[in-house]
Chains A and B, each alone.
Chain A
Amino acid sequence: MTVMTYRQAIHDTLRAEMLRDDRVFLIGEEIGIFEGSYKITAGLLSEFGELRVRDTPISEEGFTGAAIGAAMLGLRPVVELMTINFSLLALDQIVNHAAKIHGMFGGQSSVPMVIRTPGGGGQQLGATHSQNVELYYAFVPGLKVVAPSSPADAKTLLLAAIRDDDPVLFLENLALYNTKGDVPDDDVPAEIGRAAVTRSGTDITLIGYSRMAAVGLEVAEKLAADGIDAEVVDLRSLRPLDRETLVQSVRKTHAAVVLEDDWLTYGIGAEIAATISDGAFDQLDAPVRRVAMAEVPLPYAKSLETAALPSPDDVETAIRQTLAAVGRVH
């Protein structure tokens, strides 16, 4: 194990995979000379050259689609979309092409590509640069969507994504780039489609992914001092969704709070809540509670932005209220 940041784990994994497999190349805006908006690709242009670290014009649809076409011919492109907000410019290529090509042609072609892109609010970037629209991709059969919450998962899920023969959306998070943690030294990929129980507990299940899985863990550790023993399920993979793991956890704790960094209505939390209803209805002591963003375009002003985004305090409040409602007051 080596302690490093989430950013470093992604950088080092990209580099290692490029050294291992010359079909792997990087493509995106400002990833070469500028070294990436968030410096994930720092140093890679000088090490690997322009063929393998390809700067593009501002043409998200064009270069994302080009990566799909290159993948159809057997290369393994890793696209960087500067933020997930800009992925909407490439929506047709991702949804109508990357996701469809394997099935629509009866399995004759595959699209072994990765789209890396960060989401996340809280940086005062305003309404169009702070969204978490991974829901749009998690909705679509044919895509895989993974969302690491720790440096270790950033490495192992990225390894899995690059070695997978399907299009994988690899969701990064602006608020996690500087977080640190232990990262395994070997190169064993994670299994896409598996959630992880990151803290075992008996009183209530917290379910989240990306930043909110990290927040859930932080709040659970804090509440342990008050005698609340929360279990934390980090989804890690939004498609496929590991329904079994989260339902098993709720069947043990009999209560759940879903944490999401996104709007509540029609959101990923709604799918989680419906899944719990299907799989653990008879085991629930309380309705499934959702902690989610306020339903507004995220404002710039710090006071408004902070109020709109889910915080650790919000998570703690929801946990305490859920337990109180069923008489398990702490």
Chain B
Amino acid sequence: MAPHDVRAEPDQSEPVAHYRQMLLIRRFEERAARAYTEAKIGGYCHLNLGEEATVVGLMGALRPTDYLFTNYREHGYALARGIDPGRVLAELYGRSDGVSKGWGGSMHLFDASARLLGGYGIVGGQLPLATGAALAIAYRGGNEVVMCQMGDGTTNIGAFHESLNLAALWRLPIVYVVINNQLGMGTSVEQSSAEPELSKRAASYRMHGERVDGNDVQAVREAADRAVAAAREGRPTLLETVSTRLRGHSVVDPASYRSKDEIAAIRAADPLLALADRLLSDGVMTVEDQDRLEESVTAEVAAAVSFADASPAPDVKTLFDYNYATPVPNDLKRLPAQPLFGAVGA
């Protein structure tokens, strides 16, 4: 698809650029939710709705050469990392032009050139991997940084403890970010964590821990800048951002465990609306600017939908293309009904 035309948009100071990225994530995720109900997206689909300020603040702190590992709630990160929304949506659709060629789906976005080294579906699974990527950087004496995103529920799994301990012991260039949206699926942080101020856990590893308002894009950006700068000097950080998931755990979750009062409070704390109000009242953005951004983002998402719709399903002939990176003899490539020795060549 053609890159969107930025000339039609207002001059983008950093706050306005942040707003645009947040708006893109918002509209993309809303469109993904719709596509899910249209059965264009299968499996699971977890949205970043309500986490836009966090995502954009974090991603702004990274250089293009830095690495990112995330969990399964990662569409927004891919977009903020600059990956074409059409290729992200095509992956959600399971098409051959998707970022993972249709092999990953919503939970497993990967783009080597954007150094997004995977969305991972097993809670905590990405932490040891990200720690190892940071180890590789240290091994080579590089100055890149790894950012490792996770949800609040992840802080109770063994891989969290093991990874933070290794990173602190080995002084690795890594920032661990806990997206505290206050809920696991339906279980609250208070119900699952004896110390609900999750950043305090950093003290167990003599690591710097910090908690920041995840609805404030500038505050997230500044905290992430500090953490990334420290990581570049071999000092890992545990950064906790507190925000609110605007919808259920995944697209199919109606979030019936939330009260009406809670839902009203959540809407009031919407980071996108709050930022728009602030930019307008500070005179940084005009209503006309806002309208033009809305128009341009809407067009970008529409183009992504057209691109994903037009992308072909992966050819069944490619089913065994990624069995191994180094091909070896006797690699079994058979379809369910094929006899063993028809396939092996007896």
A residues near B (Cβ < 8 Å) are 25, 51, 56-57, 59, 61-75, 77, 92-93, 96-97, 101-112, 141-142, 144, 164-166, 191-194, 237, 240-244, 247, 275, 278-279
Q: Can you spell out 13 A-B residue pairs with CB atoms less than 8 angstroms apart? A: A59-B165, A62-B131, A65-B128, A72-B129, A73-B132, A97-B120, A97-B122, A109-B117, A166-B324, A240-B331, A243-B340, A278-B340, A279-B340
Task: Give complex CA distance A111, B330 in Å.
Answer: 20
Of residues A61, A106, A164, which shows the largest number of chain B Cβ atoms within 10 Å of its Cβ? A106
B166 touches A57 (CB 8 A): yes
Tell me the smallest distance from the CB of B72 to a CB of chain A, in Å: 12
What is the chain A residue whose CB lies nearest that of B103? A106
Residues of A within 8 Å of B69, CB to CB, are 69
Cβ-neighbour of A240 out of B132, B321, B330 (below 8 A): B330
Task: Give complex CA distance A68, B163 in Å.
Answer: 13
B325 touches A110 (CB 8 A): yes
Residues of B within 8 Å of A57, CB to CB, are 162, 165-166, 169
Chain B 115-156 interface residues, beta-carbon cutoff 8 Å to A: 117-118, 120, 122, 125, 127-137, 139
A101 touches B346 (CB 8 A): no
Cβ-neighbour of B326 out of A69, A93, A164 (below 8 A): A164
B325 touches A165 (CB 8 A): yes
Task: Give complex CA distance A92, B158 in Å.
Answer: 11
Task: Give complex CA distance A198, B10 in Å.
Answer: 75
What is the chain B residue whose CB lies nearest that of A77? B132
Chain B 332-346 interface residues, beta-carbon cutoff 8 Å to A: 332, 339-341, 344-346
Residues of B within 8 Å of A165, CB to CB, are 324-326
B321 touches A66 (CB 8 A): no
If A65-B125, A65-B132, A68-B128 are given as contacts, then 13 extra A-B residue pairs at C-beta distance below 8 Å, sorted by A number, are A65-B127, A65-B159, A70-B132, A70-B139, A71-B132, A97-B120, A97-B125, A97-B129, A105-B104, A106-B100, A107-B325, A110-B325, A191-B328
The 3 closest A-B pairs by CB, nearest first: A65-B128, A69-B132, A62-B162
What is the chain A residue whose CB lies nearest that of B110? A105
Cβ-neighbour of B329 out of A61, A164, A191 (below 8 A): A191
A62 touches B139 (CB 8 A): no
Residues of B within 8 Å of A65, CB to CB, are 125, 127-129, 131-132, 159, 163
Residues of A within 8 Å of B264, CB to CB, are none
Q: Is B18 an interface residue (CB 8 A)?
A: no
Tell me the smallest distance from the CB of A244 to a CB of chain B, in Å: 6
Tell me the smallest distance from the CB of B322 to a CB of chain A, in Å: 4
Task: Give complex CA distance A51, B323 in Å.
Answer: 32
Tell me the smallest distance from the CB of B102 to a CB of chain A, in Å: 7
Residues of A within 8 Å of B135, CB to CB, are 66, 69-70
Task: Give complex CA distance A69, B137 in Å.
Answer: 11
Of residues B111, B135, B331, which shows the largest number of chain A Cβ atoms within 10 Å of its Cβ? B135
B residues near A (Cβ < 8 Å) are 67, 69, 98, 100-104, 108, 110-112, 117-118, 120, 122, 125, 127-137, 139, 158-159, 162-163, 165-166, 169, 321-326, 328-332, 339-341, 344-346
A240 touches B100 (CB 8 A): no
Residues of B within 8 Å of A67, CB to CB, are 132
Tell me the smallest distance from the CB of B302 to a CB of chain A, in Å: 26
CB contact under 8 A between A61 and B117, given known A104-B108, A191-B329 = no
Tell me the smallest distance from the CB of A262 to a CB of chain B, in Å: 21
Task: Give complex CA distance A194, B329 in Å.
Answer: 7
Cβ-neighbour of A69 out of B110, B111, B128, B323 (below 8 A): B128
Residues of A within 8 Å of B131, CB to CB, are 62, 65-66, 69
What is the chain A residue whose CB lies nearest that of B144? A73
Residues of B within 8 Å of A111, CB to CB, are 325
A61 touches B158 (CB 8 A): yes
Residues of B within 8 Å of A56, CB to CB, are 166
Tell me the smallest distance from the CB of A268 to a CB of chain B, in Å: 15
Tell me the smallest distance from the CB of A327 to a CB of chain B, in Å: 28
A108 touches B112 (CB 8 A): yes
CB contact under 8 A between A108 and B125, given known A69-B133, A166-B324, A244-B346 = no
Tell me the smallest distance from the CB of A237 to a CB of chain B, in Å: 8
CB contact under 8 A between A66 and B110, given known A59-B165, A142-B323 = no
A69 touches B166 (CB 8 A): no
Residues of A within 8 Å of B132, CB to CB, are 65-73, 77
Residues of A within 8 Å of B158, CB to CB, are 61
Task: Give complex CA distance A60, B326 in Å.
Answer: 26
What is the chain A residue whose CB lies nearest that of B163? A62
Task: Give complex CA distance A148, B95 in Å.
Answer: 42
A107 touches B166 (CB 8 A): no
Task: Give complex CA distance A191, B326 in Å.
Answer: 11
Task: Give complex CA distance A241, B128 in Å.
Answer: 30
A74 touches B100 (CB 8 A): no
CB contact under 8 A between A193 and B329, given known A69-B130, A104-B108, A106-B101 = yes
Cβ-neighbour of A243 out of B117, B323, B344 (below 8 A): B344
B103 touches A105 (CB 8 A): yes
Task: Give complex CA distance A109, B103 in Å.
Answer: 13
CB contact under 8 A between A101 and B118, given known A62-B128, A68-B132, A193-B331 = yes
A61 touches B162 (CB 8 A): yes
Residues of A within 8 Å of B339, CB to CB, are 278
Task: Give complex CA distance A103, B104 in Å.
Answer: 9
CB contact under 8 A between A75 and B139, given known A69-B130, A240-B328 = yes
